[in-house]
Amino acid sequence: MDPTEIVNSLATPEGRADPYPLYAALHETGEAVQIGSGDVIVIGYDAINAVLRDPEFRVSDQSVFDRMPGWQANAVLVQGADWILNLNAPRHSRIRSLIARAFTARRIAGMRPAIEAMADKLLDTIADAGADGSSVEFMHDFAYLLPVNVICELIGIPERDREAFRPVARDLAAVFELHDAATLPAINAAAIELLAYFTALARQRRAAPRDDLLSDLLAISDSGDGRLSDAELLHNLTLLLVAGFETTTNLLGNGLQIILADPPAGDAVRDGSVSAPAFVEEVLRFDSPVQLTSRIGYDTVLADVPVSAHTEVITLLGAGNRDPRRFASPGRFDALRADGGPLSFGGGAHFCIGAALARLEGSVAFPRLLNRFPKISAAGEPTRRDTLVLRGFDELPIAVA
């Protein structure tokens, strides 16, 4: 099959539902292929790694927005122009290193008791709702609520505000699905609402700092040497929120679906023969919550394919994770595999800043869920979200009694 046809199939509902046979077909065409539009699609594990670790491959930044007349009228682009995800060196390094200072390993590890408590509370609700054998919706009742509560807790968003937050954050997360202009008004409205909220919260934390990420970031920003402006700080808070929760929601949903389809995979976590972190790592590889990211090329040759400064380079993380040159039997879920190392958090300068937090959430959630509900099973057909970049479920009905 022609690579362009395969890539076009990826954009169809069937391709989005199950991209893996298409990835397998692409692997047979090479590590990277140029398709009809001129874009280069990178499929091989090593080639993806090379692109992400090479600073000459740049992310789309404001200079790309500048080609769209009137982009400043879109709040999400104004904020997005400051997101570290959309910045190149040296601005990227400056802002990322400041954010990383408030995002320490200690702070993340210190979140464990709070994550455990939040997970247990959600499991209590599921136990009540499912006690009589009725079906419970895992995506809504757990996979969605845990990460959004965790990210709110980390930033320092009070519990009473979180309920109102979730739908807004979800609207904003639609920005990751590249091509749907119809969603732009809702995305902009969400961006405006979140920014207004963070601006007000920052005012409160400035007056009375607490032990949270927002207070830490404000202290860095207020140190007076102009290293982090208020706008940069506030805009990147909205990024943390959107980057941090739907991705982790999908990790939880994709992992549970693997267990429902293959109960021994869950038994192994329950009886401890597979550690929770090893299980999470294999879920990330097997069914990556983020399937792709992209870069702008430069004059070079990538796995025998010429690339120029005008080439959009799309790295298929989900395909790299199934590269037969890198992983033995890539289509087999095997949490004990020795050849781990998924590309699901990216690589290089933009490597996911929340990877440790997401791993922690998964490692806390799966054993608790499985031990609490030894009889957990599917209670109907799951429905996938019809999305290409973020891969996950809309609904995953389960029975727990």
Nearer of residues 88 and 379 to ligand HEM, judged by Cβ: 88
Are residues 357 and 146 in contact, defined by beta-carbon separation less than 8 angstroms?
A: no
The set of residues, in sequence order, having a beta carbon less than 8 Å from that of 390 and lying 6+ positions away, is 173, 176, 177, 246, 247, 250, 289, 290, 291
Does position 247 interact with ligand HEM (CB under 6 A)? The reply is yes
Residues 49-68 that bind ligand HEM (CB under 6 A): 52
Residues 333-392 that bind ligand HEM (CB under 6 A): 344-346, 350, 352-354, 357-358
Among the candidate windows 18-26, 178-186, 247-255, 363-371, which touches ligand HEM by CB under 6 A?
A: 247-255
Alpha helices in 156-229 (DSSP H): 159-173, 184-207, 213-221
Per-position x/- string for 89-118, each x denoting binding to ligand HEM as judged by CB under 6 A, each - no binding: -------x----------------------
Does position 248 interact with ligand HEM (CB under 6 A)? The reply is yes
- Please give the structure tokens belonging to residue 380: 């109907």
- Binding-site member from 254, 293, 321, 363 for ligand HEM (CB under 6 A): 293
Tally DSSP H helices, then E strands, for the chain.
19, 11
DSSP letter string, 61-93: -HHHHTTSTTGGG-HHHHHHTT-GGG--TTHHH
- Please give the structure tokens belonging to residue 275: 């550690």
- Binding-site member from 32, 84, 136, 389 for ligand HEM (CB under 6 A): 84
Tally the C-alpha atoms within 13 A of residue 261's C-alpha that lie toward its C-beta. Answer: 11
Q: How far is the CB of 104 from ligand HEM (least distance, A)?
A: 13
Count Cβ atoms below 10 Å from residue 193 Cβ, excluding itself. Answer: 18
- Binding-site member from 10, 33, 126, 240 for ligand HEM (CB under 6 A): 240
Tally the C-alpha atoms within 13 A of residue 43's C-alpha that lie toward its C-beta. Answer: 29
Nearer of residues 129 and 356 to ligand HEM, judged by Cβ: 356
Residues 151-210 that bind ligand HEM (CB under 6 A): 151
Does position 320 interact with ligand HEM (CB under 6 A)? The reply is no
Nearer of residues 195 and 240 to ligand HEM, judged by Cβ: 240
Among the candidate windows 28-36, 67-75, 245-253, 373-381, which touches ligand HEM by CB under 6 A?
A: 245-253
Nearer of residues 146 and 379 to ligand HEM, judged by Cβ: 146
Between CA 163 and CA 275 the distance in angstroms is 33
- Please give the structure tokens belonging to residue 342: 């998924």
Q: How far is the CB of 5 from ligand HEM (least distance, A)?
A: 26
According to DSSP, residue 314 is labeled E
Nearer of residues 171 and 400 to ligand HEM, judged by Cβ: 171
Residues 131-150 that bind ligand HEM (CB under 6 A): none
CA 192 to each of CA 168, 186, 234, 246, 378: distance values in angstroms, whole numbers, following the listed order:
10, 10, 11, 19, 39
Element housing 378 (H / E): strand 377-378
Q: How far is the CB of 84 from ligand HEM (least distance, A)?
A: 4
Q: How far is the CB of 135 from ligand HEM (least distance, A)?
A: 26
Q: Which residues bind ligand HEM (CB under 6 A)?
A: 52, 84-85, 96, 151, 239-240, 243-244, 247-248, 251, 289-290, 293, 344-346, 350, 352-354, 357-358
